[in-house]
A = this chain, B = another copy of it.
């Protein structure tokens, strides 16, 4: 198979974060129309965050603190919230002629103490080989230690990138990149991470915000795969290998 690209859209990009359960339909339609030509021609995995479709539910049921029978009903409720977003996302891509399909981590995956141990890589590889675009999302995942946990899109991206040896990994957000003192940090590595105050960038959410993203992507860089964080408006620059004005994690 030719080189695999993984593109993640943050939850704040695809939902209205301040309004529970509100899908940013216009954004998703624009995105679908924009990337359709590329999505039809290269192996592409899309991952999206949950934003306001799932985070409020996960928080309400304290999923991240571990799940027992007392809060188990939060599993399906959280999943259904983000599932609706994922289906709408996939239907917009399909309306643009992209052969996209929903992939839910609650089905594909198993976690151990909050970390993915299996992510359905084989299914995803087989879909890519046939020109199909799997659309994954942050989700509840059953956990052999905690009962269940939340696996963010930020954790899925590097897990999938490593498992499938992806060559292009990009994270589109509502900020221009990783910010420190109001400016984009062009390159982050193990060498300079200690000098950067990640608290500047965005609010922390149940999945860790910008700090969580960078930590996950540094683990990916450790495995030899660089990645890119950039503004949603620069997706085509990323996909076409041009300067995107954001941050490279390497």
A residues within 8 Å of B by Cβ? 67-69, 72-73, 75-76, 79, 83, 94, 99-104, 106-110, 118, 120, 122-123, 126-127, 129-132, 142-144, 147-148
Contacts and interface: CB of A to CB of B under 8 A. Distances in A.
Nearest to A100: B76
Contacts of A69: 130-131
B131 A110 contact: no
A122 B144 contact: yes
Copies in the complex: 2
B110 A126 contact: yes
A201 to B, nearest CB: 32
Contact of A108 (B100, B120, B132): B120
A122 B107 contact: no
Given A103-B107, A104-B107, A108-B108, A76 B123 contact: no
Given A76-B101, A99-B76, A132-B72, A143 B126 contact: yes
